[in-house]
Structures are given as C-alpha cells and as structure tokens.
Amino acid sequence: MTNKEKIIICRCEEVTYGQLQSTADEHKCTARELKLRTRAGMGFCGGRTCRSTLDKIIETVIPDTLPGELPLKYQPPIRPVTFGTVGENQ
C-alpha cells in the first residue's frame, strides 16, 4: 500500500483513499453508492470534509460523470443538542 492509499479521507469513519479508490474501481459506482459501500461521509460531519474528494474519485473512475451529477446530501442534526444534555444522567 502506497502512502497515497493510506491517506484518511473521511476522518469521522476513518476511510482511506485506497479503500475509496478500490471500491470505486471495483463497482463503478456513483458518489452515493460509494458512500453507502464505504461509510465515507456518514460520520459526525455529514460529509462536509470528504465530499469533494468522493466526487473527484467518481469523476476519475467514470469519465463521463459531470461534477456533482448525483450530489451527496448534507444531513444536519434534527435539532442542536448541547453536550450537557447528552451527558446528563437520567
């Protein structure tokens, strides 16, 4: 495994560039499918840090794909919750 393949693209789910690239190459999938197969973009940030890289990987694997053709959806929390509320004992 090269250093490029070891780079963590999705910090929340600890998905590496190598995992994303091999999954995309094997399945020729869309950005949404890549997200579902690897869990990249499904962490706490909701894909805010890794989405652009996912789109670029898909564009290299499927050359006719337009940028953002099947954009990933950002999913904010339903309502904000403070850390104090999460840590309360009931």
Q: How far apart are CA 30 and CA 65, in angstroms?
A: 9
Tens digits of per-residue pLDDT, 29-74? 877 888 889 999 888 887 888 888 888 888 888 777 665 555 556 5
Q: How far apart are CA 75 and CA 22, in angstroms?
A: 26
Tens digits of per-residue pLDDT, 3-30? 888 999 999 899 999 999 999 889 888 7
Of 43, 5, 37, 42, nearest to 21 (Cα)? 5
Tens digits of per-residue pLDDT, 72-84? 565 665 667 777 7
pTM given for the model: 0.68
The contacts of residue 89 (CB under 8 Å, 6+ apart) are none
